[in-house]
Homo-oligomer: A and B are copies of this chain.
Amino acid sequence: MPIRLTDTMTEVVAQRFRLLGEPMRLRILQLLEEGELPVNEIVDTLKSSQPNISKHLQALCHGGLICRRRDGLNIFYSIADPMVFKLCDLVCNSATEHTRARLAEMNAPPAGEHKTRRNGRSRN
């Protein structure tokens, strides 16, 4: 079957990946992995502006990756979907391997791509 996902679902999945495609948001998620935190602590730890952190928190919250709880003046954010860490591990391992392979390439001479003879069009 050619299509695994509908167009709509593809958009949704892409949207989620994009949510994870920002270093600052990844840092926030890593921070929250230890447990819930109020905004000001995240701001202090990550050394960014409060509005910026708030915006990223909104984005993550809206995307369902974290959730919020109010306690007095503080808003505590926490991980809503631990799946993100599985994702990060997968990507991290894969990226590491890719980098290692590239380094190996640079050490070993490329030796030329073996040119295969053409075998007509591949209509399947």
Contacts and interface: CB of A to CB of B under 8 A. Distances in A.
Contacts of A107: none
A81 B98 contact: yes
The count of identical subunits is: 2
A88 B13 contact: yes
Interface string A11-35: 1111111111111011100110111
Interface in A68-124: 69-74, 76, 81, 83, 86-88, 90-95, 98-99, 101-102, 113, 115-119, 122, 124
Contact of A118 (B30, B71, B119): B71
Nearest to A68: B113
A12 to B, nearest CB: 5
